[in-house]
């Protein structure tokens, strides 16, 4: 049996455990991720929702993605740390912020998304494939 991916917020109020391997891992340079992270990008891992267990109380904030669909960001009501995202158009997936992992070294980015919105000062691995927006399905 594979070791689950575990993590949560800074204060420990929100915890997750995820069975299975990530479906997709990316650095996203869209403006929403820049604003939320306070840096030039956000780093994420996306999993099948069926393998996810979350404990603790999260507050949710909805925003509209470039696709026109709602994406919901879950963050801790105590420490304010953003932990995960869900997508109305894709209810079977669950996305975590890589920095929320108990073992961040398990994060292995595959691509850079929304590279068109990146900043010169945000230098990401030049060997990663880059997409102007989201890669095609």
Q: Which domain holds residue 103?
A: 5-117
Q: For the chain, how many structural domains are there in total?
A: 1
Query: Encoding tokens for residue 24?
Result: 């997709």
Looking at residue 98, which CATH number applies to its domain? 2.170.150.70
125 domain-assigned: no
pTM of the model: 0.92
Structure confidence by residue, pLDDT tens digits, 37-95: 889 999 999 999 999 999 999 999 998 877 788 899 999 999 999 999 999 999 999 99
List phi, psi (to 5°) of 42.
-115, 150
């Amino acid at each position: 049996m594979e070791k689950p991916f575990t993590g949560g917020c800074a204060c420990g109020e929100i915890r997750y455990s995820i069975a299975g391997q990530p479906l997709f891992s990316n650095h996203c340079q869209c403006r929403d991720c820049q604003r939320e992270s306070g840096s030039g990008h956000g780093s994420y891992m996306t999993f099948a929702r069926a393998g996810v267990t979350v404990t603790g109380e999260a507050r949710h904030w909805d925003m509209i993605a470039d696709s026109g669909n709602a994406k919901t960001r879950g963050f801790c009501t105590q420490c304010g740390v953003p932990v995960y995202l869900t997508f109305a158009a894709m209810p079977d997936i669950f996305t975590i912020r890589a920095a929320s992992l108990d073992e961040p070294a398990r994060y292995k980015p595959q691509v850079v998304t929304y590279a068109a919105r990146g900043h010169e000062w945000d230098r990401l691995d030049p060997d990663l494939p880059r997409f102007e927006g989201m890669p095609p399905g």
